[in-house]
Amino acid sequence: MSPATIVNDLPLPTNIPESHQTPANTSHNALFTLAGKVVVITGGGRGLGIALAGAVLEAGGHVVCLDILKEPAAEEWAALQKMAKQFNLEATYRKRRRAVEVMDEIDADATRVGAQFHGVVACAGIQQRIPAVDYPQADFERIQELMSLHGARIMIKNGVRGSIVMIASMSGQIANRGLTCSAYNTSKAAVQQMCRSLAQEWGQHGIRINTLSPGYIRTAMTDELLTAAPEIEKIWMAGALLGRLGAPEDFKAPAIFLLSAGSSFMTGADLRVDGGHCASA
Ligand SMILES: NC(=O)c1ccc[n+]([C@@H]2O[C@H](COP(=O)([O-])OP(=O)(O)OC[C@H]3O[C@@H](n4cnc5c(N)ncnc54)[C@H](O)[C@@H]3O)[C@@H](O)[C@H]2O)c1
């Protein structure tokens, strides 16, 4: 069948509210604000997640960090609390429980502070260097876990045109030289495809979903890896076109862009931020 004869007989969504479009005269600040909104960050107990929580506060939003850790990283959390107080915003931490329960509670809290449950950044992740043939099935399933679905359920119920950002990785598109992490990479490719599929389902509700795909970042996750195998850093640096690995702060502006009205015509897309790594062979 030639492309010209392919007929899409599915009805196009007709009920997308017009206000989903950004008005032509919207100011630069209004494009990037999260004022009056609550954003949930899974994996927000340390690393990239806690850095992005700071970015949400800086953009004027309340933030809820969810993690499996008993407590968030002490130093970063103290700094986050200080910032929240200074901006008169809330930054709360919850130890992860059943997704539906915890998301419903957060929705109720959002109403209490007069804000809207607007966004989810799915930043939870585990990196494991295990040869594919030795991979335990339970771990493979654990690595794929996601909270975004329950966030979207609440947005649909509340009629909110929110935004979901799933942290994928450049490893969703490339195989990392020197690493045996097939399950991790497969899960990241699955996240990217899940994003496209969910964008197709949720566009009719005005909910946007995109992936943010980092290259190598110095966090506790990669520190553990580089301590165990220091020779890997040389391989990573060979692809670092800007002469450095990433820092969590490099992802603050891209995440706020994806969460805010600035990206209101963007859904089902992947934003790769990798210091040029994938651009060279
Ligand atoms: N560090 C990198 O180089 C790099 C590169 C590309 C993508 N990423 C991705 O960025 C995200 C954050 O990575 P990081 O480097 O900050 O790692 P990190 O290990 O420092 O932080 C990940 C956090 O996720 C939490 N977590 C794990 N499973 C969870 C679950 N089921 N529910 C809730 N929380 C859970 C962990 O407890 C941890 O606090 C991950 O998705 C990772 O795959 C990282």
In angstroms, what is the span from residue 124 Cα to ligand 1's centroid? 4
List pocket residues of ligand 1, CB cut-off 6 Å. Answer: 42-43, 45-49, 66-69, 96, 123-126, 145, 167, 169, 214, 216-217, 219-222
Give every CB contact of residue 82 below 8 A, 6+ residues apart in sequence.
none
pLDDT value of residue 126: 74
Rounded to an integer, what is the distance from CA 250 to the centroid of its chain?
Answer: 14
Q: Which of 48, 155, 35, 61 is nearest to 103 (CA)?
A: 155
Cβ contact 147:167 at 8 Å = no
User: Residue 10: which pLDDT band, with cuts at 50, 70 and 90?
Assistant: very low
What Rg do the C-alpha atoms of the chain give, in angstroms?
Answer: 19
Span 71-87, mean pLDDT? 98
Q: Please return the burial class of 126, using the count of CB atoms within 10 Å of its CB with bins 0-12, 13-18 and 19+.
A: middle
Tell the residue nearest (CA) to atom 23 of ligand 1.
Answer: 43
Q: Of 188, 216, 234, 252, which one is the catalytic site residue?
A: 188
- 14 vs 281: which has the higher pLDDT: 281
- 142-199, pLDDT tens digit by residue? 555 567 888 999 999 999 999 999 999 999 999 998 888 898 899 999 999 999 999 9
Match 């197709």 to its residue by tokens: 200
Average pLDDT across the chain, whole number: 88
pLDDT value of residue 11: 45
Per-residue pLDDT for 7 more than 60? no
- 230-246, pLDDT tens digit by residue? 999 999 999 999 999 99
Domains of the chain by residue range = 30-214+251-275
Name the helix (H) or strand (E) containing 164: strand 163-167
CATH architecture of 30-214+251-275: 3-Layer(aba) Sandwich (3.40)
